[in-house]
Chain A
Amino acid sequence: MPRITVTVDGVRYEEEVEPRLLLVHLLRDRLGKTGTPVGCDTGNCGACTVMLDGRSAKSCSVLAVQADECDVVTIEGLGRAAELHPMQKAFHTEHALQCGYCTPGMIMAAIDLLRDDPDPSDEAIRAGLEGNLCRCTGYCNIVRAVRRGAREMSGEEVRTS
């Protein structure tokens, strides 16, 4: 069985994995990272989106062996209750979630889209989140939350630079 080394939420793991094991199952079933849910099994819904070497990736569409030597950040590595990531805070504040099942992936996709466009228009936010489905909110509050998250993140950069 292939042996991989992968860093997840800042912790380095060495794991023996079957070649066909999906990254999302490595995260959930081996490492207990259940904050990353599975919604569709077919790469459509984006609920399982994580950061793979800094870019968002649907972890149901990545094999664990492909994550060898990679740095993975899940929703659980993004922040903690006491110090939420600005995007987490924005989703909470703007009521951008109901059942919350899409939220981890949605937040990851939102952070990734800000990397390319730190001050996105509503249209750019919508284009950037197209791969993530939400069944509860009708997306209106999600777009608002990403706008707020973007503002707060740029503000933070100003303060720290």
Chain B
Amino acid sequence: MSGTETRRSSRGVGESAPRPDGTLKVTGEFAYSSDLYLADMIWGVTLRSPHPSAWIRSIDIGPALAMPGVFAVLTHEDVPGEKFYGLERRDQPVLAVDQVRYQGEPVALVAADHPERARRAARAVVVDYEVREAVTDPRRAAFDPDCPAVHGSGNVLRHQPVRVGLGPAALEAPVVVTGEYEVGMQDQAFLGPESGLAVPAEDGGVDLFVATQWLHVDRDQIAPCLGLPAEKVRLTLAGVGGAFGAREDLSMQVHACMLALRTGRPVKIVYGREESFFGHVHRHPARMRYEHGATRDGRLVYVRAEILLDGGAYCSTSPAVVGNAASLGVGPYVVPNVRVDAYGVYTNNPPCGAMRGFGAVQACFAYESQMDRLAAACGLDPVEIRVRNAVSQGSRLANGQVIDSPAPLADMLRELAAMPLPPEASGGLLDMPGGVSQATRGEGVRRGVGYGVGIKNICFSEGFDDYSTARVRVELLGGEPHVLVHTAAAEVGQGLVTVQEQIARTELGIERVTVAAADTAVGSAGSSSASRQSYVTGGAVRAACEAVRERLDALRAAGATLAEALERSGPVEETRVYRHRPTFPMDPVTGQGDSHTQLALCVHRAVVDVDTELGLVKVVELAAVQDVGRILNPVALEGQIHGGSAQGLGLALMEEVVVSDGRVRNPSFTDYLIPTVLDMPPMKVSILENPDPHAPYGLRGAGEPPTLSSTPAVAAAVRAATGLELPRVPIRPHDIALSG
């Protein structure tokens, strides 16, 4: 009995299938959330706190309400339902209730017939603040019992220890290196600021069109705040201008819905760039103390670490970020004795949460910096020390979990080191650090090479019920078989819509595939984060396709063609939920537990030229080796590796939300720098395919790992060029030039 024709599709799994949204995106027709328009819509604006910490004595909305064109001015008293929301703890107010805990916290909302009128009215709202001391030092917040509590109960959001081995003399070794490291606050800096359109519905509910990463968890936070049942809050994904974690928490969602329900008009909210810096969580800044003990030939004996992550004013995903920092805190190395303590704390700094790499990035910078120090102390090459300690399949990670799929780290490092180095600098002025500013003619310029290794958990960890849902329908359209794939998975640019199409083509052997708009009319797909969507939504689409295929095969039992069978049967539709293997919590005392379902490795080599007099760095080349298990779409995958590497480079050299006294000093693209095309060098990329037997198609999530390893590689290269310790990223020009 032959199945449905499984002829190999040129646009199926494994091929560089073109993006279905590509044409729309190159012609300007793709509708981003900021492009949405309804004839009778009005504009919402958010009034935010100028203070990082203050009591609110009173709010007078009268002057704002009296202004022409103003439809509504709302405060926390107007929140119809629950006044608080949050991903892990409902600790964040929809609008400030009697106090503000960070600069930029939403205090009031205005709707008006024009965005400028709304902004002017927001400025007319009179808020009487009683400014109080802001808690801005995370170390004090964590360990000083006299430090004021940002929330009622202590400032430590989570303390996760990891304890492995630690018999007598466990923390003694012939070679010991220590270091204190710091990672600055990075912003996701997606290009399309937060925006959405809320439309009041006749049933008393609301339809929200929004750029987000996770429609269902948005809905599950929005509905209680609106006092509505979930089915009356319907979300549809609008075009997303990048995400990188920043759209996992709510921003304008509840606000737009409140204004729409109050005014009975569609309400659009669009943040500008400055507001965007205040409108989403950032990557946790970190302070880390590490001590590595090793034998004289460079084999690790123990690692001690304290990782302190500043969660800012609200919880967001901080506990999960702490879990990653703890469980992956010693990196992909075999370490017999581990003593790690990872903390996440509340402060009055900007709230921090998800960003690509999620807790694994900060630790990676520290443990890789340590590996280089250890290499120097043992007189070994940086590649050799990593090879000697590298994990492989069967190794045990710090959380006690045994790696049960290929993890050829040593081979990856050897391949990376064998890649040819770029040629010496041309001597051309434009090739010098500083480029067109012609800051040097070559004097003081030194070249350096550095390596970095990263390990990232793929999918949600620590026992989270992590699943996706797919509905697949095959029917005749115009006499030809056609597949409709419907999920709630957010296409944020990563190419998930393409992958869903490819899977349907491969599984069903039908070329014509459409992916429906993502919305809450189908079950949850989970978040477009943790590099998980190809795995989980890919798995759900495949499962639904398999179920459809079984039915089609039965219908065709009599030898009919697919078209004939569909003609008789009508549409064939199946919905499937896919879950990855269960994961388990970390023990609260020892940190032990199989907390991750999949682990992914990436290694980077960076080559830099540094103008040691001015502290300017030019990254000459980045090279990477990544094992992705199975390539679903080569060209899209390369794009992920390039883009992830660029964000890691940015963290190494330029990206930092500068916060002093709880205030953001650089909320613009003039002052918050992301890599330009001149900052980001050409890349050499080698992609390995050692399948993970537990994952659909053997794939391994790929979006995040390159973001981890490029940062320490670039930092190591700058250290190699300058001989400086440089324990902090981003490495600023004055860290180099004024080091003497």
**Counting CB contacts under 8 A, is A133 at the interface?**
yes
A56 to chain B, nearest CB (A): 15
| The residue from A37, A42, A107 contacting B26, defined by CB atoms under 8 A apart | A107
B121 to chain A: closest CB distance in Å? 19
A-B contact pairs, 16 of them (CB 8 A): A35-B27, A39-B241, A40-B669, A45-B191, A75-B26, A81-B27, A84-B23, A93-B18, A100-B241, A129-B677, A133-B674, A134-B191, A138-B643, A138-B680, A139-B680, A140-B639
- When the two chains form their complex, are residues B29 and A76 in contact, meaning their CB atoms are under 8 A apart? yes
For B, the interface residue count at a CB cutoff of 8 angstroms equals 60
Q: Which residues of A contact B492 (CB under 8 A)?
A: 99
Q: With a CB–CB cut-off of 8 A, which chain A residues contact B30?
A: 100
Determine the chain B residues whose CB is within 8 A of the CB of A122 once the complex forms. Answer: 682
What is B's interface to A at a CB cutoff of 8 Å?
A: 16, 18-19, 21-32, 34-35, 37, 188-193, 239-244, 272-274, 430, 436, 492-495, 635-636, 638-639, 641-647, 668-670, 674, 676-678, 680, 682-683
Q: A84-B27, A88-B27, A136-B639 are known contacts. Are A97 and B682 too (CB-CB below 8 A)?
A: no
Q: Determine the distance from Cα of A84 to Cα of B24 in the docked complex, in whole angstroms.
A: 11
B430 engages A99 (CB within 8 Å): no
Cα–Cα distance between A101 and B195 once the two chains are bound (Å): 13
A47 within 8 A of B: yes
Min C-beta distance of B324 to chain A, whole Å: 23
A154 at the interface (CB under 8 A from B): no
Bitwise, A35-71 to B at CB < 8 A (1) or not (0) is 1111111101101000000000000000000000000
Q: With A and B bound together, what is the CA distance between A79 and B24 in angstroms?
A: 11
Interface centre among A35, A45, A88 (most CB of B within 10 A): A35
**B598, chain A: closest CB distance, angstroms:** 23
Q: Which residues of the other chain, B, contact A78 by a CB distance below 8 angstroms?
A: 27
Tell me the complex Cα distance, A137–B642, Å.
6
A123 interface hit (Cβ, 8 Å): yes
Given the known interface contacts A40-B273, A76-B29, the answer about A95 and B16 at a Cβ–Cβ threshold of 8 Å is yes
Query: B241: which A residues are within 8 A, CB to CB?
Result: 37, 39, 99-101
Residues of chain A contacted by B676 (CB below 8 angstroms): 130-131, 133
Q: Tell me which residues across on chain A come within 8 A of B193, comparing CB atoms.
A: 38-39
**Residue from A89, A97, A131 in contact with B25 in the complex, judged by beta carbons closer than 8 Å:** A97
Shortest C-beta distance, A33 to chain B (Å), equals 8
In the bound complex, do residue B28 and residue A76 qualify as a contact, i.e. CB atoms below 8 Å apart?
A: yes
| A37-B34, A41-B274, A139-B680 known; A101+B242 contact, CB < 8 A | yes
Nearest CB on A from B354, distance (A): 16
Alpha-carbon gap, A91 to B273, bound state (A) = 26
Interface size class of A (residues with CB under 8 A): 35 or more
A126 proximal to B (CB < 8 A): yes
Q: How far is the CB of A51 from chain B (nearest CB, A)?
A: 13
Q: Tell me, in angstroms, the Cα distance from A129 to B239 when the chains sit together.
A: 25
Query: Using a CB-CB cutoff of 8 Å, which residues 129-156 of chain A contact chain B?
Result: 129-143
How far, in whole Å, are A139 and B32 apart by their CA atoms in the complex?
A: 21
Chain A residues whose CB sits within 8 angstroms of the CB of B642 once the complex forms: 137-141
Q: Determine the residue in chain B with the shortest Cβ distance to A139.
A: B677
A window 1-53: CB within 8 A of B: 28, 32-42, 44-45, 47
Q: How far is the CA of A150 from the CA of B460 in the complex (A)?
A: 44
Say whether, besides A130-B676, A141-B639, A103 and B25 are in contact (CB < 8 Å).
yes
Instruction: Please tell me if the beta carbons of A135 and B636 are within 8 angstroms of each other in the complex.
Output: no
Determine the chain B residues whose CB is within 8 A of the CB of A79 once the complex forms: 27
Q: A98-B494, A99-B493 are contacts. A137–B639 as well, Cβ < 8 Å?
A: yes
Listed residue (A74, A76, A100) with the most chain B CB atoms within 10 angstroms of its CB: A100
Q: Do A135 and B674 have beta carbons less than 8 Å apart? A: yes
A48 CA to B394 CA in the complex, in Å? 51
Give the residue name and chain of the B residue nearest to A76 (CB): B28
Nearest A-chain residue to B188, judged by Cβ? A135
Chain B residues, Cβ within 8 Å of A158? none
The verdict on A99 contacting B242 (CB below 8 Å), with A127-B678, A129-B677 known, is: yes
Extra inter-chain contacts (17) besides given A42-B669, A101-B32, CB under 8 Å: A32-B37, A34-B28, A41-B272, A44-B669, A91-B22, A92-B18, A92-B19, A97-B19, A97-B25, A98-B639, A100-B239, A100-B241, A101-B190, A132-B677, A135-B188, A140-B638, A143-B682
